[in-house]
Each structure stands twice: as structure tokens, then as C-alpha cells.
Amino acid sequence: MATGLPKIGQAPVHYERRQPVKTNLYQLIQNNIETFYAQVETETEYGLPAYVKKEFDAFLDCGILANGFLRLRCGDCQHEKIVAFSCKKRGFCPSCGARRMAESAAHLVDNVIPKEPVRQWVISFPIPLRILFAAQPQLLTPALQVIHRAISTFLIKQAGLKKKEANTGAVTLIQRIGSAANLNIHLHCLFLDGVYRMVNDKPLFQVVLPPSEDQLQKLLHQIMQRLMKSLTRQGFLTEEEGTLGLNETDDIDPSLVSLHCASCTYRIALGPRAGQKVLTLKTAEPQDWNIPSDHCVSHSGFSLHANTYCAPTNRGKLKKLCRYITRPALANGRVKVNHNGNVVLKLKSAYRDGTTHLVMTPLEFMQKLAALIPRPRLNLTRYHGVLAPNAKLRSQIIPQPPKDDTDEDGKDAEAVACTGIRKQYMPWARLLKRVFGIDIETCPHCQGKLKIISAIEDPAIIAKILKHLGLPTRAPPRKPARYTDMYDSS
């Protein structure tokens, strides 16, 4: 549905209502979800955790008008439109993931990260630790404390100061996905590339030199040692004959163990191909494996990357970086179905061996999706140092709201000035306008203002309105479980 005329000299911009039932991802889940539930129960003797099932169920309800919608009406010409409810989940929904990406990036750039240089530090873990962090996500908090303390101490020493004389600030995004929709828990830490020191009771920012390769090697070794000691002290690792091994614990979801392990190792967890590698397609030329990379070191499965730098004047690059590290697990355009009914997942970028696509059966693909779903109440964004919510210097450092940053009543900037508290939530309509230049709040007929007049949630009223509009009055039905599909390896 068009939402307004483009400006002179600009290409036409249109907004159309999302129709998830037409996407390959929705159809795959709709047709195979019950079979997948049955497969997990049959092969693991346990059902999937309730939060995993809720994620799949919510995705099948996301964007479906038969489950409820908002009514919007133009105050001038009385034109109306309807907008379906979304699931707002954090697993694999492309639509809600894109919204969260845009909203999180806008919040970080506008409200959190000051206009100072920023360097991204990416920390990756060996596969056994990825599996451990997936099964025991509470361990990410002490691991983050170790990593943040090590990098902060390094920056303070780079500035030639002592810990009591300087403060650092950082935002960490806990990323759970790899480019192949695999479970790959790693950390994106956006550190201010310098330190704050107090001068005349005011914070003054001091830029530091970038780390050298030798310094990164020493820092990575320090992080590895401290992290291993912390996990050993907590009883999750055991040292025998100079090597460390994972201890078995009882407080894990047995149905997810095999899914997590297989996803981390690019293998299949259940079905006739259990334990085998995911099939790949190589349609690109292989690349050199020994391409040097600046500010990147690795050892024993750990890696530390600190090459991405954003200048204080280049906020556009910072926005792109924030969107990248908060990106959703999947995009609808990457999921295809071939003539055999198998899922062909396109990689975001080709591997060095020329791999560009992964090929899986629908049930194997469902296993990958289930492994990506985070536990409820697991905070994936953490704030450190002067950017922490209760930091004393935070109010003096974070960006100030622009003069035109107001809501419909023009009171938002005034409220921030009085209370120091800014609204983190940005309406989807405003995000669309900011990121894509699409204004869905403008009437496509008279350019008037569209306003929400009601939220329709009663099934009888929903059916009556949709029938009047000639739209489906029921959500698409799921296909029942099919036992033969569980062991069909074609």
C-alpha cells in the first residue's frame, strides 16, 4: 500500500503490508513444525522446552491479520488501513529482528555512545566454550567481567594513567549467530577508544594509540588465562594432566544439548544423517587461507579482533556498525527451497573454500532454528564503565537530545531536559521513516495524518472486518506430524 508521494527528484518509495505466509521461511515452519516436535520427542525422549515452542508458535502468529490488528484512520479523508500485530521475539523472525536491529542501533547512537572515537573488539571462543555458554548462559556475566576488566586496564595503561585516575566505557552485544545460521556465541564490544579523566570536576576524554599485534597477543593470553581460571574455580572445567575438560552438569535442557552441539560444529543433530556435516554448495573460487589481517590475533580457538574503528565525526559508520552487530539471524531472501523440497540457505559471504550455500532437509533446518533461540530474560546487551545505567558520569557523557527530537505533542525533549531520562522505545513508523525514508503515518490519498483509532483483538470482530475486506479470516493451518518425513534423507 502506497503511503505518500515521493519528493521531486527522488525515486518512488512505497510501503506494502507484510505477508509472511508467502515467504519460504513461514511455509517451511508451518508445514514441518509438528513433525519437528514429534522428531525431538522420539529421538531425545524429551520435548522441546516451552520457551522454544513459544518462539515457533509466536512466529506463525506474527503478521497474521486473523490474530488481531490495529486500525488507523486519516483525520482528513477518513481513509483507513490495518496493521497486523508482530511477535517481538528474539530468535529468528526476520521482521521483528529487523525492527530490533534498527531500534537498538538508533538508541545506541542517539542516546548512549558519546561523540568520541569508538573501536570494536570482537572476542570469539573455542567450540567447547560456545556449547558451555549456550547451556549455561549465566556464565556469560563473569566472562564479560573478565574481558571488560582486561581491555579497560589495557586502555588506561595506554593512556599512561592508573585505574583510579581514569574511566572507560563500553557496550557489549552478545551475538549468538554465525553466517550459516549456526550457533556461534561471541562478543562485540564497542569500547570508547580512550579514557575519561576528571579535570576541574569535569570529564575530559583522552584518546589512546591503537593496539599493536604484540599487545593484542599479550591481552588475548591474559583473557584466556583469567577466563579458564574463573570457569575452573566455578567447577565447569577440570584440569587433568595439563589439559582442561568440560564437566557434565545436571541443570541443562537434555533436548537442546544435541541441537546446540550440532549447530556449533556445523553438523546434523537428529534424523538419518545425525552426526554428519551439513551439505554445502561451492559456487565461488577458493580464496587464499593466509590473508593477513591487521589487529587480529588467535590462539587455541580464541580470537581477538580490534581493527574496526569509528572516528568521532563519522557517526554514519557507527550506525552501520551498530546495525551489523544487532542484525537478525536470518533474512527471508536467504532461504530458498529447491526442486527436491530441501532448504538452500545462502551465506551472507562466501567461505574461503568457495562455499556459498548450505543444503538441508526441512527438519534439519528446523534443528538449526531451535538452537538459535535464546533463553527468556537473557540480556543480550550489556553496558560497562561510564556507560552503565548507574554510572555517576553517564549523564555528562551521553549525547544530548537534538532540538527536533520531540513526540507528537512536542514534549519529549522538554521531559528529557527535566528528568534526564529518555524514552528508549522508538515507534516502528518512526524507524521506517528514519532508516528507509518511508512514512507510513501519512495518508496515501490526501497526505493527511493517520492515527491509531483502535486495537482489534476480539475474534468475532476480527472475522467480521476481514470478511468485509475480502481477506482470510483464519490463520493458516499447520500440517499434522508426518512420521515418514523424520527418516526421509532424500
Summarize pLDDT for 202-211 with one digit per residue, the tens. 999 999 999 9
Answer whether residue 490 shows pLDDT above 70: no
The answer for residues whose C-beta is within 8 angstroms of residue 132's C-beta and 6 or more apart is 139, 231, 236, 246
In this predicted model, what pLDDT tens digit does every residue of 63-74 receive, in sequence order? 999 998 888 888
Cross-strand pairs, 308: 120
- Confidence tier at 416 by pLDDT (50, 70, 90): very low
Other CB atoms closer than 10 Å to residue 375's CB: what's the count?
A: 14
- How many helices and strands, by DSSP H and E, does the chain display? 14, 17
Which pLDDT value is given to residue 55?
Answer: 95
Helix 315-325 vs helix 94-107: angle between axes, to the nearest 10 degrees?
140
Which 3 state secondary structure label does DSSP give 385?
strand
Confidence of residue 7 (pLDDT cuts 50, 70, 90): very low
- Short-list 90, 92, 93, 104, CA closest to 64: 93
pLDDT score, position 4: 38
CA distances to 7, 48, 206, 274, 382 from 130, rounded to whole Å, are 49, 20, 35, 20, 18
333 pLDDT above the threshold of 80: yes
Confidence (pLDDT) at 249 = 61
Mean pLDDT of 440-464: 82
Determine which helix (DSSP H) or strand (DSSP E) holds 44, and give its type and residue range. Answer: helix 24-44
Confidence class for position 438, pLDDT limits 50, 70, 90: low
Interval 137-170: pLDDT, tens: 999 999 999 999 999 999 999 999 999 999 999 9
User: Going edge to edge, which strands form the sheet with 80-84?
Assistant: 80-84, 69-74, 450-456
End-to-end CA distance of the chain: 41
Q: Positive or negative, the Cα torsion across 126, 132, 133, 134?
A: positive
The yes-or-no verdict on residue 458 having pLDDT over 50 is yes
Task: Average the pLDDT over each of 130-134, 242-246, 292-296, 318-322 and give the range with the smallest value.
Answer: 242-246
268-294 exposure pattern, b = at least 16 Cβ within 10 A, e = fewer: bbbbebeeeebebeeebeeeeeeeeee
Domain layout of the chain by residue ranges: 20-91+407-486, 111-269+291-332+378-396
pLDDT score at 365 = 95
C-alpha cell at 332: 527471508
Residue 424 predicted with pLDDT over 60: no
Query: For 120-138, what is each residue's pLDDT tens digit?
Result: 999 999 999 999 999 899 9
In this predicted structure, what is the pLDDT of residue 410? Answer: 43
Q: Between 419 and 395, name the one with better pLDDT.
A: 395
The stretch 355-376 carries a mean pLDDT of 94
Q: What is the pLDDT of residue 238?
A: 75
Among the listed residues 347, 368, 364, the one whose alpha carbon sits nearest the alpha carbon of residue 283? 347
Q: What is the pLDDT of residue 289?
A: 55
Residue 172 clears pLDDT 90, i.e. is over it: yes
pLDDT tens-digit series, residues 78-97 = 888 888 888 889 999 998 89
Q: Where are the alpha helices (DSSP H) in 167-309?
A: 213-233, 254-264
pLDDT at res. 84 = 86
Lowest mean pLDDT among 34-38, 378-382, 407-411: 407-411
- Give the pLDDT of residue 44: 86
What is the average per-residue pLDDT within 466-477? 91
Can you tell me the mean pLDDT for 288-311?
A: 83
